[in-house]
């Protein structure tokens, strides 16, 4: 690597994206939290499974993680089990702390998108060829 290709020391960790929360950074959990964020009154377990294209077992596993994450005082989701017409009904709602943490996560994703778009724009305006990984993006 030539000196021209090296990043300045002030940029160390610039693209580490430590704010990308590993608990939230999963296709299923992003879908679950997005569905819940757009339904402030919550969703039934079956509606959530359908909207996220998850099996009952898979959804249950992800919800268990989201309900216990952050600590017992501040779960990301609240799960309520009741009965409706003598049938069990499980309802899931995103909590206030869950909504806050999800917004922080989305802000980090927006930073990733801005950085990637900036790189693509720099390549396009420099008249150079697209770099691998951004080719055709």
**What CATH number does the domain containing 38 carry?**
1.10.10.10
Whether residue 100 lies inside any domain: the answer is yes
Stated pTM of the model? 0.76
Whether residue 10 lies inside any domain: the answer is no
Whether residue 74 lies inside any domain: the answer is yes
Q: Which residue from 40, 116, 135 is spatially nearest to 78, judged by alpha carbons? A: 40
CB burial of 75-114 (b: ≥16 within 10 Å; e: otherwise) equals: bbbbbeeeeeeeeeebbbbbbeebbebbeebeebeeeeee
Domain containing 42 equals 22-111
Whether residue 124 lies inside any domain: the answer is no
Whether residue 88 lies inside any domain: the answer is yes
Q: Which residue from 70, 69, 48 is spatially nearest to 59, judged by alpha carbons? A: 48
Give the count of domains, the chain. 1
Whether residue 17 lies inside any domain: the answer is no
Whether residue 96 lies inside any domain: the answer is yes
Q: Taking CA 75 as the corner, what is the angle to CA 41 and CA 25, rounded to the nearest 5 degrees? A: 90
The pLDDT of residue 137 is 47
The pLDDT of residue 1 is 47
Whether residue 123 lies inside any domain: the answer is no
The pLDDT of residue 130 is 52
Instruction: Per residue of the chain (137 residues), give pLDDT as tens.
Output: 444 455 556 678 778 888 788 888 899 999 999 999 999 999 999 999 999 999 999 999 999 999 986 566 789 999 999 999 999 999 999 999 999 999 999 999 999 999 888 876 666 665 555 555 554 54
């Amino acid at each position: 690597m030539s000196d021209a290709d090296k990043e300045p020391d002030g940029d160390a960790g610039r693209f580490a994206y430590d704010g990308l929360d590993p608990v939230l950074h999963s296709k299923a959990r992003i879908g679950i939290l997005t569905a819940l964020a757009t339904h402030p009154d919550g969703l039934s377990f079956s509606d959530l499974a359908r909207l996220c294209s998850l099996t009952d077992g898979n959804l249950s596993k992800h919800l268990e993680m989201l309900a216990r994450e952050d600590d017992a005082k501040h779960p990301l989701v609240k799960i309520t089990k009741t009965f409706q017409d003598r049938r069990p009904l499980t309802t899931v709602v995103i909590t206030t702390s869950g909504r806050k943490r999800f917004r922080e996560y989305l802000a980090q994703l927006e930073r990733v998108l801005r950085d990637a778009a900036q790189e693509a724009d720099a390549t396009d305006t420099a008249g150079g060829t697209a770099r691998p990984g951004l080719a055709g993006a």
